[in-house]
Amino acid sequence: MLPKLPRASAWPATNMTNLIGRRVTVKVPATSANLGPGFDTLGMALSFYDELEVEAVAGDGAHVDVVGEGQGEVPTDGSNLVVKSIAYTFAHFGVALPGLRLKAHNIIPHGRGMGSSGAAVVSGIVAAKGLLSGVVDMTDDDLLKIATEIEGHPDNVAPALFGGLTIAWEDETGPHYKKLFVHRGVALLELVPNFKMSTALARSLQPESVPHNDAVFNVSRSALLIASLTQSPEHLLAATEDKLHQDYRAAAMQETHALVSKLREHGHAAVVSGAGPSVLVMANGPAERLEAAKVAATHYPQWRALLLAVDFKGATVVLHHEAAVN
């Protein structure tokens, strides 16, 4: 949970005025987590991006101009998740927070299982990294730690930060990740409905425990999925079978469940994207992806089809103006 942070005027003046005039632009990919059997562990960055401009200005407080997804819906002041993530990062390193002016260009759908909240968190942290360039040296471990503290789990913030296919886990020392490169033959299709799904609701449908056989089943499929995505995409259909979470959530996403089932009946490796309700198809080549898109269009023409690639860069930040740093 984000801490309650003091107003910028309550901070010591150290470093604050030195940052005034700095401006950064940030680009963060959408993500799909879980990927079938890889519940709370596997995530993938998608070539579909939110962009953010942040400028440090005199005074305190923040003003956010939102264009696209979330316009007229998300907060435009200091309670905005991006602003809170910037503030949290500054506080983590003990640097005073200046006033902020933000412009968000959002295309990642909200509440659709494409990592919109994770993208907001990551964009704020990476923006803070850019604004603090030359003041604070942030490592990849720092970025993942802060993002996990805010988001609550690392499986979708890891690919948003670092790109590619990521395996994320936590131990007594904190969150960790391993980035893998996806086989060039894998082609992605994201199918997006016009309705939303609450991540909290989706998680509430999960049982506290699962049968031993189901757990073993998912361990085998998760291992096969990593091999399929990196080396052998011909096994993606078998590799994306799941018994840990998708069926338990089906009652809350009946149309999603039906679409996943229909696609899999036609031989396509379809899974619930993140917490849903979107559907991700991992196809063995563009031709197979096109066939999956035709199946979806025939049975669910109201769903939007996005033909995507795996993003390999993750979040990027560019500092446009260097303010004097003492």
pLDDT in tens, 224-242: 999 999 999 999 999 999 8
Return the pLDDT at 9: 40
How many whole angstroms separate alpha carbon 205 and alpha carbon 246? Answer: 10
Residues 6+ away with beta carbon under 8 Å from 186:
229, 233, 236, 282, 283, 284, 310
How many whole angstroms separate alpha carbon 183 and alpha carbon 163? Answer: 14
Q: Is 205 exposed, middle or buried (0-12, 13-18, 19+ CB in 10 A)?
A: middle
Q: Which domains does the chain have, with CATH numbers?
A: 8-173+312-321 (3.30.230.10), 186-308 (3.30.70.890)
What are the residue ranges of helices labelled H in the chain? 16-19, 81-92, 116-131, 140-151, 157-162, 199-204, 212-230, 236-239, 254-265, 286-299
Whether residue 158 has pLDDT greater than 70: yes
Query: What is each CA distance from 141 to 154, 185, 305, 312, in whole angstroms?
Result: 12, 31, 35, 18
Whether a cis peptide bond, with omega within 30° of 0, leads into 277 is: yes
- What average pLDDT does the segment 238-263 reach? 83
pLDDT in tens, 6-40: 443 444 444 555 899 999 999 999 999 989 888 88
Ranking 20-34, 48-62, 205-219, 272-286 by mean pLDDT, the lowest is 205-219
Average pLDDT taken over every residue of the chain: 89
Contact 153, 40 (CB under 8 A): yes
Residue carrying structure tokens 């079978």 = 241
Query: What is each CA distance from 189 to 5, 9, 181, 253, in whole angstroms?
Result: 41, 47, 18, 19
Return the pLDDT at 11: 43
Whole-structure pTM value: 0.90
Q: End-to-end distance of the chain based on CA atoms, in angstroms?
A: 33
- How does strand 99-106 pair with strand 62-68? parallel
Contact 158, 44 (CB under 8 A): no
Cα–Cα nearest to 309, from 285, 293, 291: 285
- Residue 19 C-beta-side C-alpha neighbours within 13 Å: 32
Mind giving me the DSSP string for 44-99?
Answer: EEEEEEEEEEEEEESSS-EEEEEEETTTTTS--STTSHHHHHHHHHHHHTT----E
- What average pLDDT does the segment 243-268 reach? 84
Q: Which two tokens stand for residue 151?
A: 């988001």
Return the pLDDT at 217: 81
